[in-house]
Amino acid sequence: MEISGPVIITGATGAIGSAAVAALAARGTPVVLACRNRAKAETLRSAILARHPGAALDIRDLDLASAASVRRFADGIAPGSVSALFNNAGVIPRGYALTPDGLESSFAVNYYGPWLLTTLLANKIPDGGAIVNMVSLACRFASIPAEREELSRFLQPEAADFCQLGIYAAGKRALLSFSLELARRQPRLRVNVSDPGIVASGMINLGRWFDPLSDLLFKPLCKSPEKGARPALGALASPERFRYFVGKGSRPIPPRYDHPRLDGILWDATATRMESLG
């Protein structure tokens, strides 16, 4: 299946994001580079245009840690002007921090930002368009509580709760839940998730003493960014929906993540929290 129009890619200057942009540009697909670092995006665009002079690459500012930035970006997208959204951006902060909106920073970028961006753009994407959310194998190490007080703390971790990889896993698990509920609420769209596996990128630099050892011993065994982007590219082009894309293909959503009632509870709790930000 061909991608009919422009694709928005968040985190487009990261390792997987830039690989996805380059692959789509090579196919002649227009791309909207949604980025926090415009200078880095300009460098990426210049490099791709040197190889593909006819590539249509539009750079737009987006900071997923800011609800106001997400809303400005979404307001700038005209209905019907894009055919797909790839929520690729993600972070693994070393320490606990709050965004200007008062949200824990890892959750803000890995979950709240994509949630808000997607809900604002979903009705602007034509029937048959695609939404692909980047999840992670780390999802299996996190669970979503159903009890109200525990769920509130899950969505807004406190400093005492901070665990670098644990918070990342929770945010990605929440994004997976959101993706499943979105697929139920938006049957006219092709909503899927992609799992890149472990990719040799800056994401696995945790700012710890063992990073040099990781670079030497672990990174050579990881996937290249190009291979990491492959599942998302497959999801963008696939006629399927409600699928888990990993490696070179897709499979049904694993049963351990099949909790429709819980997905609805999480959606409503997130919507309430985001509405409180104005």
Per-residue pLDDT, 14: 95
Total domains in the chain come to 1
Strands annotated E in the chain: 7-10, 31-35, 57-61, 84-87, 130-134, 190-195, 243-246, 249-252
- Residue 122 placed within a domain: yes
Q: For residue 199, what pLDDT is reported?
A: 83
Q: What is the pLDDT of residue 207?
A: 55
Decide which of 218 and 20 is more confident.
Answer: 20
Question: Is position 128 within any domain?
Answer: yes
Tens-place pLDDT, residues 156-187: 999 998 999 999 999 999 999 999 999 999 99
Q: From the CB of residue 210, how many other CB atoms can be counted at a distance below 10 Å?
A: 10
Judge whether 2 lies within some domain.
Answer: no
Q: What's residue 202's pLDDT?
A: 62
Q: Flag whether 29 is in a domain.
A: yes
* E-assigned strand segments in 100-141: 130-134
119-145 as b/e, with b when 16 or more CB fall inside 10 Å?
bebbeebbeebbbbbbbbebbeebebe
Q: Is beta strand 190-195 parallel, antiparallel or unpaired with respect to 130-134?
A: parallel
Q: With contact defined as beta carbons under 8 Å apart, do 221 and 183 qualify? A: no
What percent of the chain clears pLDDT 90, i.e. is strictly above it? 86
End-to-end CA, the chain: 39
Confidence at residue 111, expressed as pLDDT on a 0 to 100 scale = 98
pTM: 0.92
| Burial zone of 80 (CB within 10 Å; 0-12 exposed, 13-18 middle, 19+ buried) | exposed
pLDDT at 277 over 70: yes
Distance from C-alpha of 199 to C-alpha of 225, rounded to nearest angstrom: 6
Contact of 104 with 167, CB cutoff 8 Å: yes
Determine the pLDDT at residue 42.
Answer: 98
Strands (E) located in 42-189: 57-61, 84-87, 130-134
pLDDT at residue 203 tops 90? no
What's the whole-number mean pLDDT along residues 121-134?
97
pLDDT of res. 3? 79
CA atoms of 208 and 217, how far apart (whole Å): 15
Phi, psi of 145 (to 5 degrees): -75, 145
Q: Report residue 94 as tokens.
A: 């070393």
Contacts of 43 (CB under 8 A, 6+ apart): none
Residue 231: inside a domain: yes
Looking at the domain assignment, is residue 1 inside a domain? no
CB distance 117 to 82 below 8 Å: no
pLDDT of residue 220 exceeding 80: no
The whole domain housing 101 covers 7-275
CATH number at residue 94: 3.40.50.720
Specify the pLDDT at position 146: 92
Segment 52-97, tens digit of pLDDT? 999 999 999 999 999 999 999 999 999 999 999 999 999 999 999 9
Q: Is residue 79, in this structure, part of any structural domain at all?
A: yes
What's the rounded Cα separation, in Å, for the pair 103 and 26? 38
Please answer whether residues 217 and 184 qualify as being in contact, where contact means their C-beta atoms are separated by less than 8 angstroms: no
In a domain, residue 200? The reply is yes
